[in-house]
Structure 1
Amino acid sequence: MESGVALPLTDSFYLAWRGYLLGIAYRMLGSVEDAEDIVQDLFAELQGEGIPQMDYPKAYLTRATVNRSLNVLKSARKQREEYVGQWLPDPLHHRLLEPGPLERVEHRESLQYAYLVLMEQLLPAERAVLLLHEVYQYDYRSIAELLGKNEAACRQLGSRARRKLRPTKPISEDTSSKRDMELAEAAASRQVLLDRFIFAFERHQVDTLRELLSEHAIMITDGGGKVHSAINPIKGAARVHAFTASPKTFQALRRARVTFVELNGEMQVLFWNEHQLEAVMCVQLSEGSSHIQGIYVIKNPEKLESIQLRLDA
C-alpha cells in the first residue's frame, strides 16, 4: 500500500527495475528508442519526485510503463499507417536487455523477432493485455487494476488477441535442462539453415533457395519509401522464391559482406557495404526448424543508421 511519503531514487533501485521495464516497453512498442525514452522519462520523474512509498513497487512501475507505452503506441499507430510500405520492429541486440532477476528466462521467447512482427496486428489494448497475461503472468483481475478496465473487458481483449495471433506457439515456461538442450539444438539447426540460405542467396542458386522455403513462407521488406522494397508482404513459397531468386532485386546485397549477430535471442544476418550497414535480415524458421518460414528485411536507411549505432555501442 502506498503512503504519502516518497523515497529517494537509488542506483540499486534503478538497476533492479530498468531491464524489466525496458522489456515491457520494447514488447509493447517494437521500438528500442521509444522504449528507452519511456523508461528514462519515468526514472527522471521519480528522480525529481521520489518513489512513492509502497509495499509492492512492481505494480506501480508496471502500470506507469504500460500506460506510457499505450500513449506512445496510439500515436505511433497513426504514423505507421502513413508509413510507406511495411513497418518492421527494431531488432534488439542482446546487450541492450540482459536478463536480470525480474526478466525471467522464459520471457525471452516473447522477444523473438517473428513474435514482435505478429504483435503488430493487435490494437494497443489487446497488446497490453496479451503481454501482461501471457508473458508476465498477471491474472486478469490484476491486469484490470493496472489498465483501469473491468476484468471481463480484459478477458475479452486477451481472447481477441490470441485469436488474431493464431497459429502461434504459446510462450514456454519450461526452464528445465531438457528445454536448454532443445534450445541448443534449435540454435545449431538454425545456423546450418542460415549458412545454406546465404550461400545459395549470394551465388544465385535458385533450386536450393526454393528447397529451403516453407510452403507458407512470407517475406516482408521495410524500406520506408526511401529505398526500393516490396510495398506489401510477399506470401507463399513460390512468390517468396521468385523475389529472392530475382537476379536484380537483391543485386547489391549479393555483393555485400555478410556477418551474423544475435538479435532478439536468435542469430540473424547483417549485410555491409564496407563499414556501413546495408540491411538487416531476420529469419523465422518453421516448426521443427526444417525450413525458412519468415524473412524480414530492414532496408530503411534511417532505421539502419540507428541499428548500427546500437551495434557499435
Structure 2
Amino acid sequence: MLGSTAQREAVGYRPLLFSIAYGMTGSVGDAEDIVQDAFLGLTRAYQAGTVIDNLKAYLTTAVTRLGLNYLSSARVSRETYVGEWLPEPVVVLADMPGPAEHAELSDSLSMAFLVLLESLSPVERAVFMLREVFGYGYPEVAGITGKTEVNCRQIFARARQRIAAGGQVVGSALSRERRAEGEELARRFFVAAEGGDMEALLGMLAPDVVLHGDGGGKVRAFGSRLAGRLAVIRLLLGVFRRGGTLGVSLRPAWINGRPGAVKYDSEGRVIGVVELDIADGVVRAIHAVGNPDKLAHIGPVSDLGRLPE
C-alpha cells in the first residue's frame, strides 16, 4: 500500500499527470481515467515490493504510455467522426473555479493547438508535448517514451515542422493584463451577439475569422468550418436570436485557457461551450462544442437541439 508520504507526493503530481493525459487524448473523462489507472498501477507496484526511486518519472511514464495506447485505439473512431472534431472542453467558470488540475491545464493547451496535435502520430505527439509543452529534457523524454535520445530529437524536429506548418503555437499562459483584456472583449462580444448588434460584432471580429463547430452528428451544428466575418456574424445572430426565444443563458468561463462562455437552457442544463481565440484586440477564431458526449463533465446536459436518433 502507498505510505502517507508517498501518497501525498503522488497526489501532488495529479495536475501535471492530468495535463499530460488530456494533451494526449483531448478528452477530460479519458484523461481522468488514465490518471486513475496510473495510480492503481503505482499501488500494485508498491504491493509487489517494487522500489521506486523517482515517483514523478514513474507516474509520468505510466500516464504517457497509457496515453499512447489510447491514441492507437482511438485512431479509427477519430477518422469516422461525424463533422469537425474538437476536444472536450476544459471549463473553469469565472465565478466558480474548477479542479486544480483543470485550472493548471487551462494555461497550457488551447483548442486550436489540440486540434493541430491530431496531425501527429501518437509517438510524435507524446515527444512534442513532453518537450515543448512541459519542458522535459531529451534524456527524460527518452526514458518516458522508451525511445533513444537521438530518436527523440529527430521525432521532435519532425513534429515541430508539422506544427509550424499549421500556423499555431503552444498555448502559453496569459499575463494578467491579457486575461483582463480577453475577458472584457469576450463580455462585449456576447452582449453584442445577444443583442443582435451587427455593427459592434464587425469591430470585434477579424476579417478572416473562422468558426469551428463540433456537434458530433448529434445536435444541430455546423457541418464544416465557417470562414469570413459576415458569414460568421450572420450565423451567430441567428443562433443567439433563436436562443433568446428559448430562454438560453450564458455564463462567463475560461475554456482551455481562453475566454468564452457556457450556454445553458431554461432549466440550467448545459447546451454547449464557446471559446474565443483573441489576438491583437480582435476575435480570430471561435470554437463551439455542442456534442452532448463532450459536455457531461460540466453538468447535466440539455436535449435542446439534439437530433432524433
Q: TM-score range by the shorter chain?
A: 0.7 to 0.9
- 1:84 equivalent in alignment to 2:82: yes
Q: Is the 8 A contact 1:253 1:278 kept in 2?
A: no
For 2:263, the equivalent position in structure 1 comes to 271
Q: Is the 8 A contact 1:261 1:270 kept in 2?
A: yes
Cα deviations by residue, 1:57-106 (Å, 9 ceiling, x for unpaired): 22222111101001112222221211111121112234555269xx9x7x
Candidates 275, 278, 286, aligned match of 1:285: 278
1:19 & 1:265 partners in 2: Cα distance? 15
- One-letter amino acid matched to 2:261: V
> How far apart are 1:18 and its partner, in Å?
1.9
Please give the root-mean-square deviation of Cα atoms over the aligned residues, in Å. Answer: 2.8
1:306 & 1:21 partners in 2: Cα distance? 18
- 1:41 equivalent in alignment to 2:13: no
For 1:297, the equivalent position in structure 2 comes to 288
Cα deviations by residue, 1:219-273 (Å, 9 ceiling, x for unpaired): 111111111112222233344334324x3x5543344111112333343211111
2:98 & 2:290 partners in 1: Cα distance? 22
- CA change 1:252–1:75 in 2 (3 A) is farther
- Structure 1 alignment gaps of length 5 or more: 1-5, 174-181
Q: Is the 8 A contact 1:8 1:47 kept in 2?
A: no
Q: Is the 8 A contact 1:269 1:281 kept in 2?
A: yes
For 1:178, the equivalent position in structure 2 comes to none
- CA change 1:309–1:32 in 2 (3 A) is farther
TM-score normalised to structure 1 length: 0.81
Q: Is the 8 A contact 2:91 2:255 kept in 1?
A: yes
Q: Is the 8 A contact 1:253 1:271 kept in 2?
A: no
1:222 & 1:205 partners in 2: Cα distance? 25
- CA change 1:202–1:114 in 2 (3 A) is same
For 1:228, the equivalent position in structure 2 comes to 220
1:118 & 1:97 partners in 2: Cα distance? 26
Aligned length: 289
- 1:252 equivalent in alignment to 2:242: yes
- One-letter amino acid matched to 1:24: I
Q: Is the 8 A contact 2:109 2:172 kept in 1?
A: no
For 1:145, the equivalent position in structure 2 comes to 143
For 1:24, the equivalent position in structure 2 comes to 20
2:259 & 2:172 partners in 1: Cα distance? 19
Secondary structure of 2:210's counterpart equals strand
